[in-house]
């Protein structure tokens, strides 16, 4: 079974491997089934767009930049409390899953 995805949109993560290693950014999309996330300004790809007609509108050709999804194993959450890249722990309280920082034990969403 795959590791459960514990990142959420709005989290700040640090890239720990690959071309963008060391940069930080905000999670803007989560793709739980693929264990992937999209991080603002990270893993930026360029796509050449041909001119297309869509619903009466014409999209101009050119180069589109977009952030490609990346696997969650390439990032670590940056704890909003201690500001360190950390692993995420989860504990149960009143039936809710509470995410906490494994460095300083602070609740991440508090
Ligand atoms: Zn912390």
Q: What is the CA radius of gyration of the chain?
A: 17
Rounded distance from Cα 90 to ligand 1 centre (Å): 13
| pLDDT of res. 3 | 54
Q: What are phi and psi of 33, to 5 degrees?
A: -70, -25
Question: pLDDT at position 72, please?
Answer: 95
| pTM recorded for the entire structure | 0.82
Across the 110 residues of the chain, what is the mean pLDDT of every consecutive 10-residue run? 75 95 97 95 90 77 92 96 95 92 93
Q: What is the distance in A from the centroid of ligand 1 to the CA of 109?
A: 11
12 alpha carbon to ligand 1 midpoint, in Å? 12
Task: Supply the pLDDT for residue 49.
Answer: 81
Neighbours of ion ligand 1 (CB under 5 A): 79, 81-82, 101, 103-104, 106
Q: How far is ligand 1, taken at its centre, from the CA of residue 101, in Å?
A: 5
CA of 47 to the centre of ligand 1 (A): 38
- pLDDT in the model for residue 2: 45
Dist. CA 78 → ligand 1 center (Å): 8
Write down the pLDDT at residue 1: 39
């Amino acid at each position: 079974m795959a590791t459960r995805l514990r990142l959420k949109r709005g989290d700040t993560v640090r890239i720990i491997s690959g071309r963008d290693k060391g940069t930080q950014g905000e999670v803007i999309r989560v793709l739980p089934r693929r264990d992937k996330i999209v991080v603002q300004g990270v893993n930026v790809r360029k796509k050449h767009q041909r001119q297309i007609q869509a619903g009466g509108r014409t999209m101009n050709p050119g180069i589109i930049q977009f952030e490609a999804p990346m696997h969650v194993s390439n990032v670590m959450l940056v704890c909003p409390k201690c500001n360190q890249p950390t692993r995420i722990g989860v504990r149960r309280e009143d039936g809710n899953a509470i995410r906490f920082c494994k460095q300083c034990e602070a609740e991440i969403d508090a």
